[in-house]
Amino acid sequence: MQPIHATTILAVIHNGKVAIGGDGQATMGNTIAKSNVKKIRKLHEGKVVAGFAGSTADAFTLLDRFEEKLNSYGGNMKRAAIELAKDWRMDRYLRRLEAMLIAVNKEEVLVISGTGDVLEPDNQVAAIGSGAMYAQAAALALKKHAVHLSAEEMVRESLNIAADICIYTNHNLVVESL
């Protein structure tokens, strides 16, 4: 699967708190189509929060399927993610969807891709999208050297750093905490 461009989503677990955030930019080619897209969604009665990168319509389809899996498996996020990834990889329709998800609950962060991957990242920091590596590097540095910051503050600062560097990421941030 090709890396997903045109957004940045970042999740951090720090000091027992979790935050996930994303920028608001949607692009069509090299043109900004919209600057305030909400790419973060609360699922399963607010117990799980997911963010997406990639095609918006594809991502909404995946978010709907993921929420169905969460409901089917009693809110077990890891099991729901694995089942979604299996379907995504094997289903002829889903296989063509071009998006990635990050899902968080109070204990874990998962990256879910169409290649069948469900990854639980090291250091409890996960990022997807075109600005992912900038945001992830900033978050890892903040976790290591600015331990007094909250998970939400780390996500905000890291996304702002990514927005300063990545042309497909803007400063219109949405951040949710659990």
CA distance 16 to 43: 20
pLDDT at 3: 45
Total structural domains within the chain: 1
Q: What is the pTM of this model?
A: 0.92
Helix H or strand E segment including 144: helix 132-145
The answer to the question of residue 3 being in a domain is no
Enzyme catalytic residues: 7
The answer to the question of residue 2 being in a domain is no
pLDDT at 33: 84
Which structural domain range is residue 124 located in?
Answer: 8-177
The answer to the question of residue 126 being in a domain is yes
The answer to the question of residue 95 being in a domain is yes
The answer to the question of residue 120 being in a domain is yes
pLDDT along the chain (178 residues), means of 10: 68 96 88 89 96 85 93 96 88 72 96 88 94 97 95 98 95 96
Cβ burial 127-142 (10 Å sphere, 16+ → b, else e): bbbbbbebbbbbbbeb
pLDDT at 94: 66
The answer to the question of residue 1 being in a domain is no
pLDDT at 39: 94
**Which CATH number fits the domain that encloses residue 59?**
3.60.20.10
